[in-house]
Structure 1
Amino acid sequence: MGSDFSMVKIRKVTSCSICKAMMSHPVSINCGHSYCKFCIQSYYYNVSPKTGQELLGCPLCSSPFSLENLRPNKELETIIDMIKGMGEQDHDTVCEEHEEKLSRFCEDDGQLLCWRCYWEDQHKGHNLVGVKDVYQNYKEKLQNTMIKLRELQENHEVQIHFITSQIDAWKDAIEDRRQTIKSNFKNLQSFLQEEEKFYLWRLENEEKQMLMRLKGSKADLQQAYERAECQIQELEAKCQGSSQKLLQDVKNILSRCEAMKLNPLEADPLKVHTKCNVSELYFDVKTILRRHQVSVILDPSTSHLDLTLSNGGRLVTYKIFHGDLQTSAKRFYGLPCVLGCACFTSGRYYFEVSVENATSWDVGICSENVQRGFNMKKEPEFGFWTIKMSEEGGLEALTSAPATPLHLSEKPQILGVLLDYEAGAVSFYSVTTGSHIYTFPKASFCGTLRPFFQVYQYSPLFLPTISNQGKM
């Protein structure tokens, strides 16, 4: 009995204070305390990132140490090997109550018993067998359970990698959609900024919710992986120990291990649901623009001699050598141009021009006192803010030379022109698609501004009335 008692003390000395089991590959740190090599490394890697310190305190005495100073404790490892050898001869564990050798195993309660426990009333009628008789059977069960746990752990690792790839793919998809949304909203300029913020908020909220769900799944899998690791270590320690140690609480351990299962992974395809189709918003764009709409008719006193105006002043066509018109200092005589009657000196104004029957045209805003002869230059420095369509050059903004090419997915049928006098801006829109075409760089307007039109052969321009434009 004295020998058994001493053995209990030795086991306490050889036990790791971190995992509470007999040390595996014992190492000593600066202060002299010893731990399992794996336990002290895990302790260091778990605590060091949180504290940001390279030196950590010993778990027992708080003396500083680092992983660089770990030293294998060969003497302690020799003692542990001796204890394990003795354990194989059934001299490892004694009954804590009676201090007698644990030689029997109660199948009903899953407990190790000494000969005195055997006669207690609480075990009467139970199936009591010798330790040696059941040792091999339970060892095989533990080993089989350990194999299953390893398979479970490997499956968890596969799922973790899958979730990680999903997170990366989801972030890439979100970034692609974010850039698409930003690009579309750029074409709609300032009045769609609030809509842009709204859609981006929805996208980011969707991103956060999905990432939260994916990261939660990953965290759950990581925890399950780590639990399996702990169980495996416990089973390894059991299998390396004596028969008594192996059978101690073996049924409870098996029950806990077998209860661990791999939950099926939800592998639904990741799909970004937030969409922004700018073409679907053009009705709202037209509504906003038409808040500032004015009715424009053509001014016959400014019309070039080769132009013909309808009686209502809303249709202009190019016709060479038509009837005589009264001479006027306001009339264009160099190029076939005409101004609108409306005069703008402040505020915001919007008008529309039907160009569906025209292959070539110049439309925009100009100062009232621009040059009207052969030397006129349709550039902002000379009081012109216009865009031009031609069969040769396509669509372009007549900026300071050279002109700025403009690219549209489809030719506009109705052109919208927005003037913001105080902001110094002239903007153009395709009413057909509700998309922004071009805005001239900020200018400092002064004096009176008027609608401007240049007409080409076989390319009539029409100014619709407000009542005929289907305002929504």
Structure 2
Amino acid sequence: MAAANYLPSEDQFLCSICLDVFTDPVSTPCGHNFCKNCITEHWDTSYRCQCPLCKETFTIRPDLRVNTLLTEMVAQFRQSAQQKASSSSLQQQVSKPGEVPCDVCTGTKLKALKSCLVCLASYCEIHLEPHLTASRLKRHQLMDPVENLEDRMCTKHDKPLELFCKTDQTCVCMLCHVSDHKTHDVVPLKEEYEGKKAELGKTEAEIQQMIQKRQLKIQEIKHSVDLSEKDADREIAEGVQVFTALKESVERGLNELIKMIEEKQKTTQKQAEGFIKELEQEISELKKRSTEVKQLSHSEDHLHLLQSVQSLKAPLLSKDWTGVSVHPPSLQGTVVRAVSQLEETLNKEMKELLAVSELKRVQQYAVDVTLDPDTAHPKLILSDDGKQVKYGDVKKNLPNNPKRFCHHTFVLAKQSFSSGKFYFEVQVKGKTDWDLGVARESINRKGNITLSPQDGFWTIWLRNGNEYEALTGPPVSRSLKSQPQKVGVFVDYEEGLVSFYDVDAAALIYSFTGCSFTEKLFPFFSPCNNDDGKNSAPLIISPVRVK
């Protein structure tokens, strides 16, 4: 019984020379087994007859005979291994849920490899063999396995649906074509398939394009949300800063009000304490005199009374307290006046804080701007890095291209903007005259030019060192508390806004509002004439440093 349950392993049937399953196994006198050919060839090439395993040497080459029992065991082992392999292969080929099963298999259904449109059946690898070898079956139309092959047959004629009727947009068989669809536009199924496949390819491309557009839109929306979140965070931070400063001002005002009231009260109290002290001193003196008078009035000594009365005739205290009083400090209207003064202070501080906050906000849109030498008037001198421009007395011989200003000492930047927001700063220190702003692409660049929005310019200028004007058509004068050393220019294209700032004072100089922009906008500069050296300093495009 133990032998019946014994399952030999593959190692027991391997030849130690070729390392493969025994073929014609033979045994040596020492009891070891080898393939007949392996041991024979081994001894033929060796100068001594020796067992490859135990190294026992034989003086006479043994007469080797096939081990019958081992041969039978090897045969059984090979058969068992083949059955296991076949079973494993069969398991791999068994039809799984969702796969098309073979229509011919009985019992366990194997997975179909092909379906035949002529036989209307699906075949596994084994049962497909006749369609691959038999000449009669080779003409059948095979395709990847599909279910419900009956749906591919004409229900009227029981023939394969091999044609497509474009007129009725339906699949038909050959008999349908010569009967019901004789006059219709009928093409082979494959031809229509190729056409529809091409259409589907175009549709897929369109769908992918639509998907990409929507993905880009999602990215755009997310980017907008990110920008909105950043703007919100920045506004909150600025709001906290502004309100904190205002709160501190209110607290200072309250503390000053309390201090002022307390000081007035202390003054009144000090005055009252002085009066009380003086009165108490007089009362003390009067009490002393009263005691002396009482004592003298009870005296029986005539001489003593008469002599002492003279000393008591000294005048009493002469201060008249009738008109003396302590008046509480007049505090009526103190709070109103303090609040009014606080309101004035807060308004001033709030304007300053909002100006700083606004400047910080627009500075977030700083762009890199460089001057375009192709637009510069021939008398202008530009630095190599394109960041500075000044007036030169000598007119250079330059090509009069369509972009160049030929009559006024103007120059534009290389960069243009047709959407969004942008900001740049220009140092104007040491100058008595200058023009700054933005201009649209189609402006007149030849002959006499008027700087106004109607002519495509949104600019401000300085004249005579202290006359600032916004060139709005009729110019608007601007009275500035301090002379700007650096001017910031901000544009919101969609909002139609052009604003100018005194950067150091964080103050708004002027804003063009309600503008309608339809073209590219270019930063615009003019250093103006030298004015006998008084205005020789250059305009300098400066890097933006957030305050």
- TM-score, with structure 1 as normaliser: 0.43
- TM-score, with structure 2 as normaliser: 0.37
Structure whose CA Rg is larger: 2
RCO comparison, higher one (Cα < 8 Å, 6+): 1
